[in-house]
Structures are given as C-alpha cells and as structure tokens.
Structure 1
Amino acid sequence: MNKNKNSLFLIGVFTGLLVAQAPVSAQHDGGTVPPGKVSELYPGKVYSPYANRAFPSQVYWGETHLHTGLSLDAGLFGNTTGHDTAYRLARGEQVVSSTGQPLKLSRPLDFLVITDHSDMMGIATDIQRGAPNVLAVPKGREWAEGFQTGGQAAADAAFDLIGNFSQGTISKELLEQYSPGADVYNNLWDEIVEKADSYNEPGRFTAFIGFEWTSVPKGFNLHRNVILRDNGDRASQVVPMTTLPPVGSTDPLDLYNWLENYESQTGGRALAIAHNGNLSNGWMFPVDKTYAGGRVNKDYVTLRAKWEPLYEVTQIKGDGEAHPDLSPDDEFADYGTWDVGNLDITELKEPEMLPREYAREALKQGLALEKKFGTNPYKFGMVGATDSHTSLSTAEEENFFGKSVSVEPSATRVEHPFVKSALGAFEGDMLLASGYQGIWATENTRKALFDAMERKETYATTGSRMAVRFFGGWDFDGDDLRSRQPAFVGYEKGVPMGGDLHTAPEGKSPTFMVYALRDPIGANLDRIQVVKGWMDKRGKLQEKVYDVVWSDGREIDENGKLPAVGNTVDLEAANWTNTIGASELMTIWEDPDFDANESAFYYVRVLEIPTPRWVLYDKVRLGANIPEHVELVHQERAYTSPIWYTP
C-alpha cells in the first residue's frame, strides 16, 4: 500500500471512528439530527445522501409522438388497433399488432403521449367498420367498400381519401361530422381523454393527454404535438386544434392562440413540440418570413419561445440534429439523413432550405434572433420519439415494427418506400428505429414530467436507454467526479441540461460536468462530445464539435481527430460484443475557446460503439434481401438539451 493510499485509508478509518463515537440523542422520532452532532462532520448537510434531496434523481423513459388507428392515415393504411394496445405495450404487456404478430418491449416505458392527428380523427375507424353515417355519403361508402375489399382496392381508397384531405375537397357532410363541435368528434375526444386517465397511474406509468396538430401546407411538414399537463376534468373542457377550414388553421400563430386559450379557459398547462423539421423544406425554423406570409418579428419569437420549449430531434422519418452540408467538419453529422424533399416529395430539397430544418443550425440562428429581438425563439430542449402509426412504440433495432402497418416485420418490408413520387423516394431502408426521450424528474407523474419538459431537463436518444447527465457552471473540477452520484455536486455548483449561465466571473471560462452510463442491455460507449455554437464579435454564427472523453485509450491524431472505436458487429448473426468501448464515461471539460462577450450554447452528443441496424436483423431472421447500398451497421446516440451562455 503506497503512502497516499495509506493516508486515505487512515482518514477513512478516522472518519468512521468519529461517526461511531458521535453523541446521539435518545429519541429523534424521524426528525433531523440535532445540531452539534453529525452536522459538524458534514457542514450544511445530513449524513444520508438521499435525505432532504429535492433535485431530480431518476431518468424516466417514454415518447411524445405515437399514432393509433384513430389517425386518418394510420387507420386507412390498416391499423386496426387503438389506445388500449398502445398503452398496454408501453406499460410492458404483450400485445398483438394489426398484422397479427405478438410483441413485447424489452422493458416497459415510464410515460407515453398518444398524439393522433386531430384532423378528421376517428373517420378511419368508422370507415373500417362501415359506420352508418359514413355509408350515407357516396364517397364515404366508396372508401368503406374499398377497405372491406382489401388489397389494392383498400390502398386506392386510402390514397383517394388522403388526397381529398390534402386538397381540401372532403365532402361537407363528412367534414362537419369529423370536426370539432360535432357530436361524433367531441364524443371521440371525450373517450380519448377518459382512456388516458384510466391508464394514468401516478408513480408507475404516466399517460399524458395530447394530439398532433397536422399542419402540412403544400407538403411542408410543420406538425406540432400538443401535450397537456392536466387530467380529464380540464382536458375535456376543450377540443383539439385542427387545420382544415372553417374552424382550423395551418398557421403556428393560431396554434399558439389555442394554447393560450386552453390555459386561460381551464387553468391548465400545455406545451407544443415541433415535429422533426427535415421534411419542412426550410419552413420549420424561419429567420425572416414564415410560410403563411407572416414575418419573424418580436411577436413571433416571443410566442414561439413561450409555447415550444422542446424539439423532436430524431424519429422514424430521419434524424434532425445536423446535416453534413451544414457541418462538413463533423464526421458524425450524416446520420439518418432525409433530404430528398418535402413530406410527399412534390418539391425537391434545395441547399438553401437546409439551414432552416436542423436542430444545430436552428440553435445558432436563435442566438442571432435573440440579439435582434431580445428573445430566442429556438431555445429548445431535445426529445426523441417514434412517430409510429402502428400504435406500437418500438424504437429497438431488434424489435422494430416500422412506421405503418404495411412495414411491420416481413421479409419484403425493406422494399416498401415510405413515399415515392415522380421526383424521388424515401426508400424503405431509410426508416430509423428511433427514438426515445429521457426525462430527469423527481417522480413519475404528469406534473413532475411536464415540469421537467418545460425546464428542458430532457434528452433524446435514437432508441438506446443510456443514462446521461450534463451540468454547466464556473467551478467544476476533477474532484467533483470522485463520487458515484455526480448529480449531487452538479446541482449544487451548476445548472443541468436546459439551464442558463450568465455573465462570466472575471477571468473564468465555463466548466461542464458530463457523465454517461451505457444502456444496461445495450452497447458500450465510444465517446462523449460537446457541441458548441456561438455568435462571434462580427455577428457570424460558428460551431465546433469537441471530443471530450472517450474509451480504449485512443489518442487524437495529427488532424485533430479521434480514431474510430472499432467494430465488433457479426454480420452473419446480427450481433456485437462489448469487448471495445466503455460501460461509462465521465469528465470535467472547460471551454478552451471561450469569449465572455459572445453568446453561446453547449449540448452533449454521446455515441455508442457500432451495432446492427434493424435491416440486418431482418436479413438474419427473415431472410430479407437487403440491397448492397443499405447501411447494416450504425452508432446509436444521445443528444442532450443545451446549456446556454448569455453575456
């Protein structure tokens, strides 16, 4: 035993003796330790590290974007399951999919928001069962007969209805019945609210009440998922916001007005989460004018900052963190890239659209807009979700049930494009088994989880359930990592992900404490990176990706790059081994390029070692014929909410 270890050993024994010999009162009755006792050894604290603790100590897993057969498109494409199936699967039960396949998640989720499309909600299930009110309308009867015939007839009926919906040519009779205010629609909303309340079990499983506002003008995907904090007594006082006239609107400003009215009318709380912006063709994050002919002005930035605290950075329809053309020095920017065109590929993607579609660029543009208007409209936290239309929240590569019923597990599903037009296609292999959201909260309740989302103490993953902590402050040092509970000092000395740092102390740069622990049944970790964005003195927006801690003793090369971690994937067995990488990584990192006069943001990206994609599992399990160009291996990742620095 060397001298230092001897010293530590003796100190430990000495401390133990002090604790053992400290006087104690005869009776405490569960109260605090009397002054002059254990508190002398731990000034300002009590001995038990878990007592008197109010900060979030648990990460809860779930998602905020899932569709059932009540959604127009999901139901028309064959989803015959509903909210019961979605909740039961999320809670850890085995269910049966619309194609008759049994499935179960590897582990239950902690929370779920079912966000069926608010427009024409319920018409698909009524077409499926041939409801009398549908059959009474000629077009409705035509669609119902096509669905009952099945095969191509059902597909034709589905596309015809969706075409009528997108063009605004739905018959007046059906539109009136499946719009807010009509008995059919209002009764369905009441059933949705009651169902969420019935599955909500505080402390065990949280079922939020929500819906998707489905703005898609000219195929530009501007969807938002609306999440209510409240129980049914408040949610049932309203009906969802829709987009179709005469009562609906596709303008986000009108959605913000709906949210304002909801809170003032019910006394409740609500927020909106912007859909992954990669199919918006440049309209998700406007910087001067909006698609509706409006302007990005003081009113716009204030309302967006108030009502949209979160952004869906990854999901089945691609990953929206970064784009290789926008971040050419970032070797990991080209992950799950969907940049063919808008949602229905009626307009191809142009390079000038990309900066207004991706999270990292939007975070940078937010700094510029804040300087101009005094408010940052793109000061959002990160969430991941599936956007599955199968009622099945599956973001596990080996357990992936696809985007819609047509691509539930089969030997040929990789051959089915998500969208195909005369201009291009989103091919079937492009679908991602993504993603989930981690929320750091004090308990598993609607109140605690919603409040954590509002303060942006959340992060996104592409499906892995790795635990990630990220704190920023001015005084973190190496000693702060000498604990199995880094959050204790994290909250004491700094702010968590989603937080703010203000004017720097004289001569100091911000320090960050980051910690990641692998998914217990997942892959080891490759590295942790800090992504910084800032606006320099000339008003130019900048970014840089720093490798801050990594596994396996690698060294940065002469080009400033960290060599790849390696690859243990067995392509014949769809397997990998955790013989490379690390089970946990942690570090204290200080910004070496800090300028106290420049606004900045920092977020963490954690990368796992390479593992198989769902297409490789299909090849091995189902004998699927996978085209040569398809990527079989990827690196799962997590994106934390940023921490912002404002001079």
Structure 2
Amino acid sequence: MNKVIRVPAFLLLPAGLLLSACGGVEPPAESAYAAREFAPAIARAPCKRNEETRQALFGDLHIHTSLSNDAWNFDVRVQPDDAYAYAFGEPILLPLGDDYRARRAQIDRPLDFAGVTDHAEFFGEQAVCQDPDAAGYASSFCEVMRSGEGRAPQLVMQIMSPFSKRKQSVCGDAGADCAVRTGNTWRHMIEAAQRWNDTSDNCERTTFIAYEYSSFRLGSNLHRNVIFRNTAVLQRPVSYLDVHREWDLWRILKEQCIDGDTGCDVLAIPHNSNISNGRMFAVDYPGASSVTEQAARARLRQQIEPVVEIMQHKGDSECRNGLQGVLGAEDELCRFERFEELAFSRFVGEGEEVGQCYDGPLADWLPHLGPNCLDRKNYARYALVEGLREQKRLGVNPFKFGLSASTDTHNGTGGGVQEADFPGHLGNGDSMPQQRVSFSPDNAGNAYNNPGGLIGVWAEENSRDSIFDALQRREVFGTSGPRIRPRFFGAWQLDAALCEGPDGTARAYAQAVPMGGDLPARAGDAPVFLVAATADAGSDRFPGTPLQRLQVIKGWADEEGNHHQRVYDVAGEANNGADVDPQTCAPRGDGFGQLCAVWRDPEFDAGVASVYYLRAVENPSCRYTAHQCLQLPAAERPGDCEQPLMDPVIQERAWSSPIWYTPDVSG
C-alpha cells in the first residue's frame, strides 16, 4: 500500500511555487485588519420562541457566490443577496449553457441561518480584472482570470505557493488598487448579511458575516471559514495571499478581533479534511520548538476552531477503513461518500499506489500537486483521538472540536441538499443532469461530488448570539443533508427513565453534560449516556426517511501511539430489512421516527482518556445520482448510470459533537 517518498527539501519545490513570490506585493501591516463596527448597533427584540432546553436550528455556513473566482469562472452570477434569498426560501436563477440565468432553483425548505463565505483570496483581483478602466485590467493574470480558466497554473500557484504574494501588475503600487477593491467587496458582503438578518421578534432567519480563508498550501486543502458573531468585524479579510500559515490566521483573529475593544468575536471552521494530505490535523508544530510554545499554539487553535466540518460536497471526513495505526473492527459506515477516490485517481501517477503520507523530516515542506496520500490525520475521528494524546503530552487538546457539516456550494444554493432535487453545485460545471450523474472527467462528470450537508445547533433562539454561543460551546451537530435532530448527554449516573415522559431533556440538562462537553471528575464505575434522535419528517413533496439505528463511537489511544475505535449499536435495528426499489427509488421497509436509549460504556477503563460521539443512521435511500439517472430518458443516460463509481444507495446520517473523558492524574 505504501509508496516510497524521499525526504523532501526546499530545492525540490516546483519552480512555479518559488517564482510565484517574485516581484510581489508585501502583505499589509497586521494593524490593517483591526476590527471595527461596520454597522450601527440595532436593539433587537427578544425572540418570541425561546426554549430553555434549546431548539434544533439548521443552517449552512459554507456558501460561495460569484464573488468567488472559481464560481465566476463556471458562469455563476449569483450575488450574496441571491444566496440569502435562496437559503430562506426564494427562487434564484442559475446558469445553463450560454445563459447565466437559464435555470430556476428553489430550496425545498428554508434554513434557519446561513453565512456566505466567499474566497477572500481574489476579492481585489477579480474586481480589477472585470473593470476595463482599472490599471491592471490588461495584465496577463487578468487575461487568464477572464478566460474562465480558473484552475490555470498562474492562479492555482497563488493559493498553493508557501511564498505567494499579490501581483503588482494587477494590484498596483503596494497593492493599493486591490486593497481598495477588496474593501468594497467586503462591505458588499457585510451589507447583504445585514439586509437578510431578521432582528424582529419573529426571528425567522439569522445571517452571519463571514468569508473563506482558502489555503491550498503545497497542494493540501487547508481552507477555513471565518465566522463573526456580529457587525464588529475585521476591516479586511485575512487572505492566504497575505498570511500563509493557519496559526498566523488564528493569532491575527485573536489579536485584531477578540482582544480588541470593539466587541468583535470570531471563530474559524476548518473544511472537511479528507484531501488535506494529513496536514489539516498535523501535530508537528513548525516554528514552535518547546513544549510551552506548542501548548500555547494548541490552546489558540482550540479557542479559534471549536468546530470542524465533517461533511460537505467533497465527501465525508469522519473515518476510513484500512488506515495505518488504527485498530478495531472495520466500521461498515466508513465507506460513505468517498470523494477522495476520484481525487486520488486524478493526482496519483500511473502505476503508482496511494500510500501513507510522509511524516519525517521537513514533512511540512513536502509539495503535492494534489491530494495523493492517505493518513489518519485526514479524518475527524482520528484527529479527536490524536487530541487525547496531545492533551496528555502538552496539557491541552488542540483537537477538542465539535462536528458540523455544510455544502460548500458554488451556486449560492446554501442548504440545497435534497437528494431527489439536487441542482448541482458548480455552475456550468454540472448544470446538465448528464454531467451530474457522470463520473468520467473526460465527460466533465461531477458525480463524485454530493449535495453536501447541514450544520445543526442546539440554541435557545434563532439569533446571532444564541447560535454563536452554541458553536463556541460545541453544542453543534452535522448531518449529511436530512434534518435529523440528535441529542447526546453524558454523566456518571443518569435516570434510566430519561427516554420516558415529556421532561426528559430538561432532566438530562440537570443531570449530565450535553454534546461538546467534558465528563466531570470521575464519580462512578463507567460513564452513561443519553442517546436520542428524531428523524427528519421531510415535506409533502419530499417525505423524510425513517431512522434505522443509533450508534455510539468511542475512540482512544494506546501507549504505542495506535488509535482504537469501537462502534456500539445502542438503539434501533441494523438488520431491519429496509431497502430501496432500484427501479423507482421508492423506500421499502419500516424504521423509526424516534430512537432513544440510556447506554453505559461496557468496556470502560478509568485510566484511559476517551472520546465519544453519537451517529444517527437512516434507512437506505437513493443517492442523487440514482434519482437523476431514473429521471433521464433511457437513451440519454450515460454509461455511469449502469456502472456507477459511487454506491447508488446510501444511508444518510447525523453526527453529534463529542463528549470527552480525561482521567484525573492529580493524585
């Protein structure tokens, strides 16, 4: 399985990565980011619906519009206002062929909250390249950008090079033109979020001012979505073109936002990590040599990144079978939405096998042309376990994060996750159903993508403060699309009858810690958990799918550094006989509208730090590719409909944030 990788060195970096810094614009002083209040404070009315035991709210915090260069290059012309309109129930127009607005799209059910997160890297450049009166309009860079070749080497190197700088030929002396235009775009995004944020006591919709920091450093996807609590935000987004390391992003967000006196508050949500070449959750701490320095960086990461994205259109980043250093029985549900299978086939050379990511000297400088190695640090489950090891070594857990999901749509269609009605996510890249069901790159196939997921929070009310507080305390969950509502509480003693009666949730809050929390100091033989979920009822047009089972996933590490996993079925029935009619996609068999259990860990070792989370699993249903193949006339179906790369039948799911157990070593 492993391929030979020689020890990397700076001299091995591709010439393009080195040259991309030549003649570039120096990044601004960090004070240029200093937060300020962009809109007058509005005294909002208390929400009419406010629940002490918290309500499930569903949203999407990963949405791109035409302000993102890659979306523009696929003929998307949706603006932030359009994206919010779609998220909250209004129709919008998408491209088809030569017409930028030929298709109508409308979400099946409005979201509760949303944030447009356009790529900050080319805000200024894109505005220059679209303005014939701009001094940089005639530059070769702008010619490439306008050509629609959004993945041309000249542009890719800008977000891949560890030495990247903005181009003076585009941005002008000291980057002044791009700086002004970036500011204009940023204000445009802020104003759109403000227009759509409901401050009445109806609290029907909440928007967040946000953007994406899009590091593709050395060929590894290390993107983050930066989410602000309110209208006190950075004066300009921190972009990878100016700040190449994520820990510098964290530091600037803390120093220029959180530590200021403007009321600014912020967090960052890392992308799903399956194509990060082991770097999203790396523990090598470049530049931080002492344990004290490493602990400080780990603490900063925990503060700025309390939540990660486990699912989006690039697939599932929960887990993978067969990884080196992971022990325990195979998890059959780790075969879900394996986007990286196609990514590897594009980037791994002919006759070369996908192997373990290099983890030796100078690993942080090993270039990749794309995602082409497997590592347990690519997946959230194993990052959670690695965090337990770091907690023991450093006294702080850098990977103490909750689990969320979103779409990463580039159509501005946040929350458009209905498998039976998926309009694609990349403009003219998948505007035709034949594209959406085809896996062949030669046919511009895009079927290795999926509709993406939703982020859910347990919050008192649908408002910025309430939702942001839920994100910070990690009382958050992700779904692969359905609006499943999982509950997960942990304690040393729980009432065995919590699943009975209308006040079970209130009693759970009184007796236990919710998802995202730490078990208190040991006060029993083994921890006990309330696990519960409610199925998505769906809508009249698209009825929901019943639940099949609830599972508790447990992870821990041994002294040799191996990761261990256990998957416990704790409610429902795995072999319930439910399936799908392949000729119609109609579901068959029974399931559950609700599941609930009080479960105690049967293999608890008080001396071993452990992490637990809940996975709620639906009955089988059709993947969107199966739906759309059936909707096409038989003569128009690509061959991939008969021999699909991805399983046409899936099991949608939800993931709770974890609960952690740490042994008391004080005595």
TM class, shorter-chain normalised?
A: 0.7 to 0.9
Alpha-carbon distance in 1 for matches of 2:440, 2:126: 20
After superposition, the Cα gap between the structure-2 partners of 1:254 and 1:418, relative to the gap in structure 1 and judged at 3 Å, is: farther
* Residue in structure 2 matching 1:489, options 507, 514, 519: 507
Distance 2:308 2:596 in 1: 26
Q: Which of 65, 68, 71 is the matching residue for 1:68? A: 65
Q: Does 1:568 align with 2:585?
A: no
Query: Following TM superposition, by how much is the alpha carbon of 1:602 offset from its aligned partner in structure 2, in angstroms?
Result: 0.7
Q: Which residue of 2 aligns with 1:363?
A: 384
Cα deviation, residue 398, structure 1:
1.4
2:3 equivalent in structure 1: none
CA distance in 2, matches of 1:292, 1:76: 39
Q: Equivalent residue for 2:340?
A: 339
Partner residue of 1:392?
A: 413
**Per-residue displacement from partner, 1:232-268 (whole Å, max 9, x unpaired)?**
xx22x52100111xxx122011101121121223331
> Which amino acid is 2:648 matched to?
L
Matches within 5 A, 1:148-297: 154-156=147-149, 159=152, 162-163=155-156, 165-166=158-159, 168=164, 171-176=167-172, 182-202=179-199, 203-231=203-231, 234-235=232-233, 238-244=235-241, 248-260=242-254, 261-265=256-260, 266-290=262-286, 297=294
1:509 is the counterpart of 2:526:
yes
Matches within 5 A, 1:8-23: none
CA–CA distance in structure 1, aligned partners of residues 454 and 283 of structure 2 = 29
**1:601 paired residue among 607, 611, 615:** 611
Q: What is the count of residue pairs matched by the alignment?
A: 565
Q: SS state of the match for residue 475, structure 1?
A: coil
Amino acid at match of 1:117: H
The alpha-carbon distance between structure 1 residues 309 and 390, as it changes in their structure 2 partners (threshold 3 A), is same
* Structure 1 residues 253 and 344, CA gap change in structure 2 (3 angstroms): farther
Return the offset for 1:402: 2.3
1:528 aligns to 2:529 (yes or no): no
Q: Determine which structure has more spread, i.e. the larger CA radius of gyration.
A: 1
Separation in 2, partners of 1:82, 1:418? 30
Distance 2:287 2:177 in 1: 25
Measure, in 1, the Cα distance between the counterparts of 2:103 and 2:467. Answer: 32
CA distance in 1, matches of 2:49, 2:181: 50
Residues in 2 aligned to 1:272 and 1:519: alpha-carbon distance in whole angstroms: 28
Task: Determine if contact 2:128/2:171 at 8 Å carries over to the other structure.
Answer: no
Q: Which residue identity is paired with 1:209?
A: I
Query: What one-letter code is carried by the residue in structure 1 that aligns with 2:267?
Result: L
Deviation, structure 1 residue 122: 5.5
Matches of 1:224 and 1:157 in 2, distance apart? 20
* Correspondence for 1:97 among 82, 94, 99: 94
CA drift at 1:170: 6.3
Q: Is the 8 A contact 1:283 1:291 kept in 2?
A: no
| Partners of 1:253 and 1:344 in 2: CA distance | 30
- Distance in 2 separating the partners of 1:342 and 1:215: 19
Give 2:355's match in structure 1, choosing from 350, 353, 361: 350
Q: Hey, what's the Cα distance between the residues in 2 that align with 1:415 and 1:432?
A: 10
Q: Distance in 1 between matches of 2:177 and 2:258?
A: 18
CA 1:131–1:60 in 2, change beyond 3 Å: closer, same or farther? Answer: farther
Residue 293 of structure 1, CA deviation: 10
Residue of structure 2 equivalent to 1:38: none
Q: Distance in 2 between matches of 1:305 and 1:72?
A: 31
Deviation at 1:339, TM superposition (A): 3.4
Contact 1:398 1:617 in 2 (8 A): yes
**Of 187-196 and 608-617, the range deviating more from structure 2:** 187-196
5+ residue gaps, structure 2, are 1-47, 97-101, 358-373, 539-543
Pick closer, same or farther for the CA change 1:533–1:582 going to 2, 3 Å.
same
> Aligned equivalents of 2:375 and 2:631: distance in 1?
37
- After superposition, what is the alpha-carbon deviation per residue over 1:191-229, rounded to whole angstroms, capped at 9, x for unaligned? 211111111113111110011111111211111111000
Task: Provide the residue aligned with 1:41 in structure 2.
Answer: none
In structure 2, give the amino acid aligned to 1:614. Y
Structure 1 counterpart of 2:662, which letter? Answer: T
- The CA deviation at 1:616 is 1.1
Q: Residue 484 of structure 1: CA displacement?
A: 3.3
Bigger drift between 407-416 and 316-325 goes to 407-416
Aligned letter for 2:644? H
2:448 match: 430
Alignment-mate amino acid for residue 445 of structure 1: S
Deviations 1:380-405 (A, max 9, x none): 00010111111112111112222311
In 2, the alpha carbon distance for the partners of 1:537 and 1:367 equals 12
1:351 to 1:141, Cα distance in 2 relative to 1, 3 A: closer
Aligned residue among 624, 627, 632 for 1:617: 627
Aligned-CA RMSD value: 3.0
* Equivalent position amino acid for 2:187 in 1: D
Structure 1 unaligned blocks of 5 or more: 1-50, 148-153, 552-561
1:21 alignment partner in structure 2: none
Cα offset, 1:137, TM superposition: 2.1
